[in-house]
Homo-oligomer: A and B are copies of this chain.
Amino acid sequence: MSANLLAIFYLISGVLFILALRGLSSPETSRRGNLFGVLGMVIAITVTFLSIGNFSTVFIYVLILLLLGGSIGALIAYKIPMTAMPELVAGFHSLVGLAAVFVAISAFLNPEAFNLGSPGDIKLSSLIEMSIGAAVGAITFSGSIIAFLKLRGIMSGSPIIFRGQHYINLLLGLSIIVLIFYLCTTQTDSFFWRIITISFLLGILLIIPIGGADMPVVISMLNSYSGWAAAGIGFTLENSALIITGALVGSSGAILSYIMCKGMNRSFFNVILGGFGGSTANKKDAEKKPVKSGNAEDAAFLMKNASSVIIVPGYGMAVAQAQHALREMVDTLKKNDIKISYAVHPVAGRMPGHMNVLLAEANVPYDEVFELDEINNDFSNTDVAFVIGANDVTNPVAKTDPQSPIYGMPILDVEKCKSVLFVKRSLSPGYAGIDNELFYRENTLMLFADAKKMTEDIIKSLNS
């Protein structure tokens, strides 16, 4: 296979990878996007084989390795519960990181195979590239392992912070640079190995101060690192597939973590460097039971893809005066052919008929408003319950715990819906002053915000 043809194919696979990411811009095209990714990978692997062309027995081993690894990967992918997604991705990252390190080592050991010179006399530029690749790969590897352990719960999710942490990291980083410099000037093996070792250490130290809540950002950042590592190796191997894809993954991962930080209202640098300021907040989090909290986009997505939604208004809607926004949100949902009803609990709010006043003000048609008895059986056939500023009136403790102050009150069985969205500002209790265990359920997503603000944001997402 000619070098030109090879380069063209690598270009094609790079473009396919771009299309893969692009596909995710909307759920409709997302699956096609994934297929593009697969195709790109197949092309890249195939032409690589073809370019080497020595279909000896070794080839069989490689194939076996490929299939073996593939089966393991597939097995993991099928077996893993969806909730373990973040740690899975972290685990996978560590593999990429390690692979990058190994490729770099291999090139370092046998530079002739890659046209990079001979051992002890490797081309300067290649040497720099491969050590950067190896270092970044090693950081990715050990960092991902820590992230994995934290998410898996094997290591405590709370940040580990000690004095001078940032200085040590800085020192390690600088020493890597110094070592690369020495490696280039002396071409001594040992420097190379030290670079890798220190990088492993740095990876660990970079991640341990980061709290569990920030892990998704970290994972995306590690993703970015693995991209840069691949790009580094790509330069070494003069392989444009690696360069394109590495740069793509590198920059998209970095941007993604930035976007996620913005979404969570956290400072990007604090998260990446770990432990700056954010530490106390994290400590408090650790003591609480875990809740799943989402944003307006998640809520919009869930409702847009539902066929029926029940709105459960409560006192918080009244406080936020969110009734008009709510009505508008419902109008938007209705345009998507989603069936909407309102479930009004007899004591929702702070005065008899409180919700009715507000819903009437927002011109909600009377025939969409149901009282508890009329609608309580419908929750189990409903996709989403959108609980906006209500709390006590959904609390199942009223049915189960005779000691509870609200025992015996009929409640709206929102938990029977496929998903429950709770819009409120915090985990604080309602009028009765008791905790609501629904907040911690599997099928609950908390939307922490002022009810009006959140509803408006959901409208925005629904429209975009």
Contact = CB atoms under 8 A, between A and B. Distances in A.
A336 interface: no
A460 B460 CA distance: 7
B327 A363 contact: no
Interface string A335-376: 000000000000000000000000001110000000000000
Report copies per complex.
2
Interface in A313-329: 321, 324-325, 327-328
A456 B328 CA distance: 9
Interface in A441-464: 456, 460, 463
Contacts of A361: 361, 363
A460 B459 CA distance: 9
A27 to B, nearest CB: 20
A318 B362 CA distance: 14
Interface residues of A, number: 11
Contact of A327 (B324, B456, B460, B463): B324
A325 B324 CA distance: 8
Given A361-B361, A460-B463, 11 more contacts: A321-B363, A324-B324, A324-B327, A324-B328, A324-B362, A324-B363, A325-B328, A328-B328, A328-B456, A361-B363, A460-B460
A463 B464 CA distance: 12
Contacts of A460: 460, 463
A463 B460 CA distance: 8
Contacts of A463: 460
Residue of A324, A363, A460, A463 with most chain B CB atoms under a 10 A cut-off: A324
Contacts of A362: 324
Contacts of A328: 324-325, 328, 456
A363 B360 CA distance: 13
A170 to B, nearest CB: 29
Query: Which 5 residue pairs spanning A and B have beta carbons closest together?
Result: A324-B324, A460-B463, A361-B361, A324-B328, A324-B362
Nearest to A332: B456
A361 B324 CA distance: 10
Residue of A321, A327, A363 with most chain B CB atoms under a 10 A cut-off: A363
Contacts of A456: 328
A327 B460 CA distance: 16
A203 B363 CA distance: 56
Residue of A321, A327, A456 with most chain B CB atoms under a 10 A cut-off: A456
13 contacts: A321-B363, A324-B324, A324-B327, A324-B328, A324-B362, A324-B363, A325-B328, A328-B328, A328-B456, A361-B361, A361-B363, A460-B460, A460-B463
A98 to B, nearest CB: 33
